[in-house]
Amino acid sequence: MSVSLLVVEDKDKTLQSICKMIEPLGFEVTTARDGLDGLSKAKQQYFDVILLDHKMPVMDGLSLLKNLRELEAYQHSPLLFMSTQDMVEIEPKALKAGATQCLAKPLHEDFLLDTLKTWAVRFVA
């Protein structure tokens, strides 16, 4: 069974880097360029795991987290929040908004892959 992953990231270079890193996992990857686009795609199709950025145009990551958690389908889904901001400052806000886990950017490939595998196994198995 394939794992569906939505990656919400506005920066092309970062998005390409993430997609390249996770390619070996064989996930079914969909991308969105901002929070509103990500929310729209999440409403159209269910994703097993959502990886989302903090600072984005149109709708930021904190707002996206809150909106996703209001949807019945995503009340218990893994929502992984990425940020370049100091984790001591942003992590409590992200967790309060509905993040399952926070990841500091720049992302380290091994850590990202291990994190995605962990959540995918937990929720898809």
The pLDDT tens digits along the chain (125 residues) read 589 999 999 999 999 999 999 998 999 999 999 999 999 999 999 999 999 999 999 999 999 999 999 999 999 999 999 999 999 999 999 999 999 999 999 999 999 999 999 998 876 55
C-alpha to C-alpha distance for 117 and 80, rounded to whole angstroms: 12
In angstroms, the CA 83 to CA 2 distance is: 27
Q: Where are the domains of the chain?
A: 4-124
CATH among 3.10.290.10, 3.40.1740.10, 3.40.50.720, 3.40.50.2300 for 4-124: 3.40.50.2300
Please give the model's pTM, rounded to 2 decimal places. Answer: 0.95
